[in-house]
Amino acid sequence: MAASAIALPYYVPASVLGRGGTISPSERIVMGGIGMGGRGSYDLGWMLNEPDVHWVAVCDVLKSRRQAAKNIVDSKYGNKDCAVYGDIRQFLAERTDVDAVLIATGDRWHALASIMAMRAGKDVYCEKPACLTMAQGKMVVETARRYCRIYQTGAQRLSEGNHVFAIEMARSGRLGQIHTAYADIRWRDGWRHDWLPAEPEPPKDELDWDLWLGSCPWRPYNGSYVKGGWYHFYDFATNVAMWGAHTVAQTLAGLDMTEVFFIEFEYENPNETMVTRLSNGVKLVLFRVSGSVWEPCQYWYGACGERFDGPEGWVAAADGYSKPDVSSPAFLRKYKKVLTEYTGRTQRKMNHVRDFFDCIRSRRPTVANPDVMYRAMNICLAADICEQLKRNLKFDLHKAEFVGDPEANRMRSRAMRAPYTI
Q: pLDDT, tens digit, for every residue of 238-262?
A: 988 888 899 999 999 999 999 899 9
CA dist., res. 374 & res. 103, Å (int): 17
d(CA 158, CA 346): 12
Q: How far apart are CA 170 and CA 165, in angstroms?
A: 9
Q: How confident is the model at residue 12 (pLDDT cuts 50, 70, 90)?
A: very low
**Mean pLDDT (the chain, rounded):** 91
CA distance 160 to 339: 10
pLDDT at 186: 74
Percent pLDDT > 90 in the chain is 82
> What is residue 130's predicted lDDT score, i.e. its pLDDT?
96
- pLDDT at position 225 is 96
What domains can be seen in the chain, in order of their start residue? 2-156 (3.40.50.720), 157-190+238-346+370-410 (3.30.360.10)
The mean pLDDT value for 352-361 works out to 98
Does 6 score more than 50 pLDDT?
A: no
Inform me whether the pLDDT recorded for 348 exceeds 60. yes
246 C-beta neighbours (distance < 10 Å), count: 31
Q: Tell me if 27 sits within 8 A of 177, measured CB to CB.
A: no
Report pLDDT for 227: 94
Q: What are 195-224's pLDDT values in tens digits?
A: 999 999 999 999 999 999 999 999 999 999
**pLDDT band of 1, cuts 50, 70, 90:** very low
Give the model's pLDDT for residue 220.
97
> Do residues 45 and 70 make contact, with C-beta atoms less than 8 angstroms apart?
no
Judge whether residue 2 has pLDDT over 70: no
pLDDT (0 to 100) of residue 22: 66
pLDDT tens digit sequence for 23-41 = 778 889 999 999 999 999 9
In this predicted model, what pLDDT tens digit does every residue of 75-114 receive, in sequence order? 999 999 999 999 999 999 999 999 999 999 999 999 999 9
Pick the residue with more confidence: 291 or 278?
Answer: 278
Mean pLDDT of 176-201: 88
Please state, in angstroms and rounded to a whole number, the distance separating the CA atoms of residues 204 and 190: 33
**CB within 8 Å of 76: residues ≥ 6 apart:** 48, 55
Amino acid at 123: D
pLDDT at 5 > cutoff 50: no
Residue 288's φ and ψ, nearest 5 degrees, are: -100, 120
Contact present, 232 and 225 (Cβ < 8 Å)? no
> Span 51-72, mean pLDDT?
98
First vs last C-alpha separation in the chain? 62
